Amino acid sequence: MAEDRAKVEPTSNEDRYQKVWAVIEGIPAGAVLNYGEVARLAGFPGRARMVGMALGRAPKSRQLPWHRVVNAQGRISFPEGSVKARTQRERLEAEGVEFVDGVIDLDRFSPQRAMDRLLWGP
DNA sequence: GGGCTGACCTACT
DNA sequence: CAGTAGGCCAGCC
């Protein structure tokens, strides 16, 4: 019946956002992930845009480390010079993330590398 | 319900 | 290296 059809899609969008937020909360300080990677880790490959939505709709009470999410080119996805962009950059640099020409080396500042630094030092 | 937008990505030229 | 094209899909008219 119609109810069975409804159960084919058990997860609501709210649930999807919860998964996305959980992944973002798992990004260690000093590391960044791009939107597509967050989507993939949350179980939604190819849906990078959803991550942006989830971030925008995240409740303030959640205190997400939203600044650790950048785009696939390693650049901040807010208009350059905007308050948000500057805030994000400041927070990242405070954690040791380096910008070269406004670009972050995603490989060098991946969560994996961050964990390595934690264990082995810089 | 159709159309547009957007904190995006990959692949290809 | 830059620029384009197509894919993606939840919100919001």
Answer yes or no: is pLDDT of A11 > 90: no
Domain count, chain A: 1
Average pLDDT, chain A: 93
* pLDDT for residue A78: 97
- CATH at A115: 1.10.10.10
Instruction: State how far the Cα of A23 lies from the Cα of A38, in Å rounded to an integer.
Output: 7
- pLDDT above 70 (res A8): no
State, as a whole number of angstroms, the distance between the CA of A58 and the C1' of C11.
14
Q: Which residues from 25-64 of A have any strand C atom under 7 Å from their CB?
A: 46-50, 53, 57
Percent of chain A residues topping a pLDDT of 70: 92
Q: Quote the domain boundaries for residue A31.
A: 2-120
